[in-house]
Amino acid sequence: MIQIEILKQDSGKKLHRYVRQILPGLPLSGVYKMIRVGRIKVNGKKGKNDIVLVAGDQLTIYMAEEEYRELARAKPKFQGVHTNLDVIYEDEHLLVVNKPVDLLTHPDHSEHKNTLINRALAYLYRKGEISDGRSFLPAAVNRLDRNTSGVVMIGKDSDTLRLLTQSIREHRVQKQYLAIVWGRLIGEGEIDAPLTRDQRKNKTFLGDQQSELAKGALTRYRALGTAAGFTLVEIDLISGRTHQIRAHLKAIGHPLLGDAKYGGKTAFGVEHHLLHAYIVRLADGRKFVARPSEVFLNVLSSTGLHRFIKE
């Protein structure tokens, strides 16, 4: 068996993520199985996937040393990934990037390697800021859909990740989006409508206020200008449900251009929704601004909506 003491830099990480990190050669399904059958213990007790580790915890892994060394020597998935990143801001604690369209924030069943977080890890690895082994791996504070572009923050250490995640949970981080929607939308307003999620269909629906499955969701919007049958909208995302903006805008009859899943027809050859995470303001006053994608800017120009864009 293998005995490991959790270090300060790994405090705050869930058990299954930590084990996946120290044993990159073991697939996630293998990690789950080891935890489920009791081959991983925390402080002498059977581990659970969602246990949050703290400094000083004693981890016991029931595995032969030779197998452990082999699995630990495997190259992390981010090695070999190219490091194309549009960096907005960086310091020793935080990396802020402008995510492009058609890139996952995190790996999923369709793509395991070329993702935003793996690009960021490869970038930091090549800079010498992270290394193989058990040290904390930076992680995304917020995530965006594959075809939503804009600001994504990546915490380089566990304290930064925890503090920013808590700030978002407490609504002390302001997130503004730009969207191009179908139809003439005037003025400003808010959409306060609970949402339910169908994981199988990967789709979000308006839910019943009385339903236990429905989660509260609040979106505020301001129409910046209308042209050629479209409206440029600035959106304040108050809560952060999956596909919230897309579902809420469909609910008021103004789906995103290109958002076929939520009723938005294509135009100008654009076959994905036009939604951009434009500005993030932190509680300490820092502000991060991401330039919209070329596709977004081209549609603004084609419709005449560029007249309403903020500089």
Tens of pLDDT, residue by residue over 24-61, are 888 888 899 999 999 999 999 999 988 999 999 999 99
Cα-trace Rg, the chain:
22
pTM: 0.78
* Average confidence score pLDDT of the chain: 91
Say if CB 205 and CB 195 are below 8 A apart: yes
Q: What is the per-residue pLDDT for 34?
A: 94
Mean pLDDT of 128-150: 83
Say if CB 229 and CB 305 are below 8 A apart: no
Distance CA 100, CA 38 (A): 41
Least confident of 14-18, 249-253, 261-265, 298-302: 14-18
Residue in the block written with tokens 């090695």: 79
Domains of the chain by residue range = 2-73, 87-165, 173-308
Report pLDDT digits (tens) over 271-295: 899 999 999 999 999 999 999 999 9
- Of the candidates 75, 50, 61, the one whose C-alpha atom is nearest the C-alpha of residue 5 is 61
Distance CA 240, CA 258 (A): 21
Distance CA 23, CA 13 (A): 15
**Domain 173-308 = CATH 3.30.2350.10:** yes
Q: Which amino acid is at 234?
A: E
Tokens encoding 217: 């969701």
The SS3 of residue 265 is coil
Catalytic residues: 145
**Whether the domain at 87-165 and the domain at 173-308 fall into the same CATH topology:** yes
One CATH from 3.90.100.10, 3.30.2350.10, 3.30.465.10, 1.10.3720.10 for 87-165: 3.30.2350.10
What number of other Cβ atoms are within 10 A of residue 152's Cβ? 26
Distance CA 104, CA 116 (A): 6
CATH superfamily of domain region 2-73? RNA-binding S4 domain (3.10.290.10)
Beta-strand runs (E) in 166-251: 174-182, 188-192, 195-198, 203-206, 218-227, 230-237
